[in-house]
Amino acid sequence: MTGRDPEYLAFLRRRLADPAESGESGESGGTVQDARREHAADLARSPRPPVRTVRDLTVDGPAGPLPARLYLHAPRTPAPLLVYFHGGGWVLGDVDSYDPVVRALAVASGVAWLSVGYRRPPEDPFPAAVDDAVAAVRWAVRNADLLGADPARIGVAGDSAGGQIAAAAAGILRAPGPCRPALQVLLYPALDLRAVPPPLPDPDGLELPRSGVDRALRAYLRGTDRTRPDVSPLLDPDPAGLPPAVIATAEHDRLRPQAERHAARLRAAGVPVTLVPGTGLDHGFLGWGAFARRPAEGIAAIGAAVHDALTGVPDRPQHR
């Protein structure tokens, strides 16, 4: 395990020293609403890069309309499109708070992104979020013209908890047909929910905040069998049928080993996989590209991999 780039390490130390810093744990000592506000305030520190077209809309969900935001940075339409589900430990996060993250991914990749707000626990436990994700992908395919998207190149994406939701949706939608995702993009995803993995040894001696993932998982799953493949996609019994994947990791993230195992299982089953290693990076780096060079490089690498996978053209998109 390598150490961190000095500039990036200095940023992390400043971040950890800030008493307002809030992770994805949902463990703030207050209410769930307090934790959601703190998480949104943390993400609001990130700049919102300019994107050619940003438009709010609603998506038909199984229990009612879902909020969504379309990002079109591609110079031409119809464009490849990714239906994206935010992180936040299942409990936190929403479309607006993750706006800086999706803008950065849209600029880096040059493809369209549709960020969809899903139902969250404790109000709506599993399988609400996964049901919403499946419905959102199907809606995007049906409404490709409205979105300026190519219906043959619509994929699913998510980071962290959203990566688990995206992977579960890809598994459900795997059958050949118009709604089968062209690609699944899993960004430091949670893929094995049987237990919270232990933290990795930290080469720089950083003391990370206490994790509240156990509590979030209990709220999300409420006793659901954790070995189900729509809960723990790493345990899918038939990975050969899954869509191609771009999987990005962060070296110092406790979720990295399970993402690497998932990539290896997919490859062994004959599924095309691009693994983007986040060398020297930590969970959450998608929101930090404006603060240090190393996270910006990681986002650029993800964007290039997504662009290549969805366009078949091995070059980088034009950034603005």
HEC string of 105-129?
A: HHHHHCCEEEEECCCCCCCCCCCHH
Q: Could you list the beta-strand ranges (E) of 117-214.
A: 149-159, 184-187
Supply the DSSP string of 279-310, one letter for each residue. TT--TTGGG-TTT-HHHHHHHHHHHHHHHHHH
Q: Is residue 295 within 8 Å of 280, Cβ to Cβ?
A: no
Which residue type occupies 297? E
Measured distance CA(184)–CA(170) in Å, rounded: 7
- Is residue 160 annotated as part of the catalytic site, yes or no? yes
Indicate the burial class of 175 (C-beta count within 10 angstroms; 0-12, 13-18, 19 or more): exposed
Q: Using alpha carbons only, what angle is made at residue 115 by residues 112 and 117, rounded to the nearest 5 degrees?
A: 165
- Is residue 283 annotated as part of the catalytic site, yes or no? yes
Task: Out of 99, 230, 236, 253, pick the active-site residue.
Answer: 253
| 3-state SS class at 261 | helix
Task: Out of 39, 73, 252, 283, pick the active-site residue.
Answer: 283
Task: Out of 160, 230, 262, 307, pick the active-site residue.
Answer: 160
Catalytic residues: 160, 253, 283
